[in-house]
Amino acid sequence: MTIDRRVLLGATTAFAVTCALPARAALQEQDFFADTAQDGNFTYRRTNMQAIDPVWRRQLVHYVHQEMPGTVIVDTRNHFLYSTFENNTALRYGVGVGKEGFKWYGRAQVDRKEVWPAWTPPPEMLLRRPELPRHMDGGPDNPLGPRAMYLYRDGRDLGYRLHGTVEPWSIGSDVSSGCIRLLPEDVMDLYQRTPIGTNVLVLEHLV
């Protein structure tokens, strides 16, 4: 895949650090949101990037890998997702990953994509958290956020997604039931770069 210089410059300059990050302990939930934006039929709260640690902001990086350019690589230990280019270059996103006992690894493929996806918690999740709704239509309050990419292996839905979040403070943490969550702006960006059939590798960490 050829790197478009304008895309890479836009990715790096749009997320440059412009001021010091406030102490995380002092931040309140509302501090993580800026103004609102329109996407399709929905108005959602934009992320206040100044409340996000610079390490978790989308950025172009040097990343040595052995995968075909275009592969999505998830490093759950370090809470990064890489959309790979040629010449050991990648666009890196901060992510939230599975909690202890919910981590997984291996290869998968994006076989389905949804804009403002609906959410139906699986039965095993409802057993753990019976207070959850049985179904939620897509929208700004849906925990999957504005985009979702569904991971399959050998034609079987693994039950894991790359998706957005309504909790931007959770990026960089072990928080999910195995899905990989990104900031709303980041999942919208990744969605555009990730066609159906994209290979996904979740790295194995044995220790």
- Number of structural domains found in the chain: 1
The tens digit of pLDDT for each residue in 33-73 reads: 999 999 999 999 999 999 999 999 999 999 999 999 999 99
- 207 is a domain residue: no
Angstrom distance (rounded) from CA 102 to CA 163: 16
Measured on CA atoms in the order 77, 81, 84, 90, is the torsion positive or negative?
negative
Closest CA to 12 of 95, 102, 97, 91: 91
User: Which of 64, 54, 125 shows the shortest CA–CA distance to 94?
Assistant: 54
- Owning domain of residue 59: 5-202
In a domain, 74, yes or no: yes
Tokens of 14: 């749009």
Q: Tell me, yes or no, whether 97 lies in a domain.
A: yes
Report which residue type is found at 193: R
The answer to whether the beta carbons of residues 62 and 91 sit under 8 Å apart is no
CA 90: distance to chain centroid? 15
CATH number of the domain bearing residue 179:
2.40.440.10
Tokens of 127: 């057993």
> Is 42 inside a domain boundary?
yes
Prediction pTM value: 0.84
What is the token pair recorded at 128? 């753990």
Residue positions annotated with a catalytic role: 163, 179
Within-domain flag for 133: yes
* Tens of pLDDT, residue by residue, the chain (207 residues): 444 433 443 443 333 333 334 455 578 999 999 999 999 999 999 999 999 999 999 999 999 999 999 999 999 999 999 999 999 999 999 999 998 878 899 999 999 999 999 988 777 777 888 887 888 899 999 999 999 999 999 999 999 999 999 999 999 999 988 899 999 999 999 999 999 999 999 998 754
DSSP secondary structure, 59-79, as one string: EEEE----SPTT-EEEETTTT
Q: Is residue 115 part of a domain?
A: yes
pLDDT digits (tens, 9 = 90+) for 156-165: 999 999 999 9
Q: How far apart are CA 100 and CA 56, in angstroms?
A: 21
